[in-house]
Amino acid sequence: MAIRDWVLALACVFGAGAAVAQSGGLQSLETSDAGRGWEAVGRLDINGKGFCTGALIAPDLVLTAAHCLFDTRSKARVSPDSIQFMAGWRNGRASAYRDVRRAVIHPNYVFDPSVSADAVRFDIALLELQQPIRNTTVIPFQTAPRPRKGDEIGVVSYAHDRSEAPSLQEVCSVMARQSGILVMSCNVDFGSSGAPVFSFEDGRPQIVSVVSAKAEVEGQKVSLGTSLQEPLELLKADLANGGGFPQGAAPRVNRITVGGARRETGAKFVKP
């Protein structure tokens, strides 16, 4: 089943309209005061051209989407040494800059530019940085089990029209959960791939998913993400056992300039 049809089917079963209506707008984090506490979310620059969003979950580990690590035209993996994580990137400056040493993706992930349900379900990757970030203003986020249907969540992301500072959508919701996939009312766009999805229990933001794709439900824009807990533990174990593709393991690929033609960027979403 095509992902659009699959999401539309979920809408009929789970009643998506009410969840969408509860969603709040985007808050820009372009000032130091607004961005305080969110510095561990950063922009992942791919070969200095395309970009995704990632989040620090340990001093040397960045969580993002697996499809960010592939070139959509050649379907080849992007070499880790072409990726730079810029923590808290805002208006030309970052709280920390780090190159990537290794990358691991879910073993069941198969890159699919058209985006299938299986591609979304396993669309998760971990990047090991060349050096840990020990900046006291960049505090890694904790992770938490996947949220329930109806839970309020939030997303911090960059996008093609807000590439120089992240934005927070603090109030969106889980519309449905099925087979390891979350359907959410959160507002995402090109560049938001890999963005952390947060729960706010006890007043602390904890990552519960990463943004994989966007779609439409009855004319309303929705976002899709993978369940986090078990896949993340699998990736951590893979890194601990020496897995992942290291520097130089994949050929360099040419990425597009931000804002240019979308067909070659790794930060790719389905658009029904």
pTM: 0.83
CA–CA gap between residue 84 and residue 241 (Å, rounded): 24
- Confidence band for 236, pLDDT divided at 50, 70 and 90: very high
According to the model, what pLDDT value does residue 24 have?
64
DSSP 3-state assignment of 13? helix
204-228 pLDDT, tens digit per residue, is 899 999 999 988 877 788 899 998 8
**7 vs 169, residue with greater confidence:** 169
Can you give the pLDDT at residue 203? 82
65-92 pLDDT per residue, tens = 999 999 877 888 999 999 999 999 999 9
CA distances in angstroms from 174 to 62, 119, 152, 159, listed in the order given = 24, 19, 7, 21
Question: Residue 56: helix, strand or coil by DSSP?
Answer: strand
Beta strands in 40-195 (DSSP E): 41-46, 50-58, 61-64, 83-87, 96-105, 125-129, 152-159, 162-178, 181-184
pLDDT of 253: 33
What pLDDT is attached to residue 254?
Answer: 31
Type of residue found at 265: T
CA distances from 226 to 176, 181, 182 (A): 12, 5, 6
Q: Which structural domains are found in the chain, ordered by start?
A: 3-248 (2.40.10.10)
pLDDT at 22: 45
For the stretch 105-157, pLDDT in tens is: 999 999 987 767 888 999 999 999 999 999 999 999 999 988 999 999 999 99
**Cα 10 from Cα 19, distance rounded (Å):** 13
Residue 226: which of 120, 67, 110, 125 has the closest Cα? 120
Amino acid present at 61: L
Q: pLDDT digit string (tens) for 7-65?
A: 444 443 333 333 333 456 778 888 888 788 999 999 999 887 789 999 999 999 999 99
Whole-angstrom distance, CA of residue 1 vs CA of residue 10:
12
